[in-house]
Amino acid sequence: MNKYKKRYFPIFVLPTLTAFLIAFLIPFIMGIILSFTKFTTVLDAKWVGFQNYIDAFSNKEFLNALWFTVKFTVVSVITINFLAFLLALLLTRNIKGKNLFRTVFFMPNLIGGIVLGYIWQVIINGVLFKYGVSMTFKPEYGFWGLIILMNWQMIGYMMVIYIAGIQNVPRDLVEAARIDGASSFKILTKITIPMVRPAITICLFLTMSNSFRLFDQNLALTAGAPSRKTAMLALDIYNTFYGSVGSEGIGQAKAVAFFLIVGLVAVLQLKLTRKKEIENYGI
């Protein structure tokens, strides 16, 4: 078997590797190179060194978008994971119709971002109509609108992962704890949560990277209104690139910076939570 693996592995990997190269690696490297140039089309690039990065980071809107995205990510990660875990706990008890509930809670995740953004825009504006304002009235409205939308969409997905994690907690541990007289709360904190750590790692990673990279819903819900104050990083990059002729290089620089920030935060987060996982397996 190993002989076959060694001989034919390159052939089988080839299709995926080619696609990966063409669709990801090459544009990625081109992007990094272009971020150091001033260009309008890929063929007329002029080298400008770090000027694009300096322009990007001194751009008020980029910094505003960065701060907004960080705030949004922190709030949405906490709320989504908390609510998803709560729902998962509820739906792993023996209640009637638990499968139906699980399906229903998961369904919002299936709706595409742009459609979701427009639907929620109509709903939220409909509610705010009673107060005579629309969502563009203050950036805070847009912020909370995005949080509500993100929660509605992602809770079901995270809930499913948590359910899988909870169901994997060994029964005998729980029973042993109950015999020893542990309260439900103690079981939750001392047994369930530590054993669910891998699921927590994954969910934290997914929510964090989804929130950071949010674009479709941002565009459809607020399009950055008012005055680009609710534009998140991806939308800001999109605006820089398409807004006026001449700032494509800066847009590219912002995009590379975006990649570095998300990459760094993701790696840090994984490292931290992985460490905790291993510690707990040592029980």
Partner 1 sequence: MKKFLVILLTVALLAGTLTACGKKEETKTEGSDSKVTTTVENKGDNKTEDNSGDSEETVDEIYFLNFKPEIAEVYDKIAADYEAETGIKVKVYTAASGTYEQTLKSEIAKSDPPTIFQINGPVGYESWKDYCLDLKDTKLYSYLSDKSLAITAGDEVYGIPYVVEGYGIIYNNAIMEKYFALPNRATQVSSMDEVNNFETLKAVVEDMTAHKEELGIEGVFASTSLGAGEQWRWQTHLANIPFYYEFKENTAYDNTILAGLAANEVEFKYAQNFRNIFDLYIENSCTPKGLLGSKSVNDSMAEFALGKCAMVQNGNWAWAQIKGVEGNVVKEEDIRVLPIYTGMAGEEKQGLCIGTENYFAINSKISKAKQEASIAFLEWLFSSEKGKSYVKNELGFIAPFNTFEEAEKPTDPLAKEVLAWMEKDGVTSVAWTFAAFPSEDFKNYFGDALLEYVQGSMTWDDVVSVVKDTWKSQRAK
Q: Nearest approach, Cβ of 282 to partner 1 (angstroms)?
A: 43
The helix/strand count (H/E) of the chain reads as 14, 2
Q: Which strand (E) or helix (H) includes residue 263?
A: helix 248-281
227 binds partner 1 (CB under 8 A): yes
Q: Which of 90, 115, 138, 264 is in the footprint of partner 1 by CB under 8 A?
A: 138
By beta-carbon proximity to partner 1, the closer residue of 20 and 281 is 20
The residue type of 27 is: P
Nearer to partner 1, 42 or 63 (CB): 42
Candidates 24, 129, 176, 190: give the one binding partner 1 (CB under 8 A). Answer: 129
**What is d(CA 152, CA 271) in angstroms, rounded to the nearest whole number?**
28
Smaller CB distance to partner 1: residue 22 or 107?
A: 22
Backbone φ/ψ region at 280: left (φ over 0), alpha (ψ -120 to 50), beta: alpha
Work out which of 49, 132, 181, 282 binds partner 1, going by CB under 8 A.
Answer: 132
Q: What angle do CA 262, 263, 268 make, to 5 degrees?
A: 100
**Is residue 131 close enough to count as binding partner 1 by CB under 8 A?**
yes
Name which of residues 11 to 40 contact partner 1 (CB under 8 A): 11-12, 14-16, 18-19, 22
Give 49 or 132: the residue with its C-beta nearer to partner 1. Answer: 132
**At closest approach, how far in Å is the CB of 37 from partner 1?**
16
Binding test (CB under 8 A) with partner 1, winner from 35, 64, 76, 136: 136
Nearer to partner 1 by Cβ, of 139 and 156: the residue is: 139
Least gap, CB of 8 to partner 1 (angstroms): 6
Q: Is 275 among the residues that bind partner 1 (CB under 8 A)?
A: no
User: How many C-beta atoms lie closer than 10 Å to residue 127's C-beta?
Assistant: 9
Stretch that binds partner 1, among 9-17, 112-120, 163-171, 261-269 (CB under 8 A): 9-17
Residue 8 lies near partner 1 (rule: CB under 8 A): yes
Can you tell me the distance from the alpha carbon of 250 to that of 244, in angstroms, rounded to the nearest whole number?
11
Gap between the Cα atoms of 64 and 70, Å rounded: 10
Q: How far is CA 208 from CA 26, 52, 53, 139, 150, in A?
A: 26, 27, 25, 21, 11
Q: What does the angle CA 136 – CA 220 – CA 127 come to, to the nearest 5 degrees? A: 50
Q: Give Cα separations from 215 to 38, 69, 158, 179, 225 (angstroms).
A: 25, 11, 20, 50, 14
Of 22 and 54, the one with the shorter C-beta distance to partner 1 is 22
Give 153's contacts (C-beta < 8 A, 6+ positions apart).
108, 109, 111, 116, 217
Instruction: Work out which of 233, 247, 255, 258 binds partner 1, going by CB under 8 A.
Output: 247
Residues near partner 1, by CB under 8 A: 8, 11-12, 14-16, 18-19, 22, 41, 121, 125, 129, 131-138, 222-228, 242-247
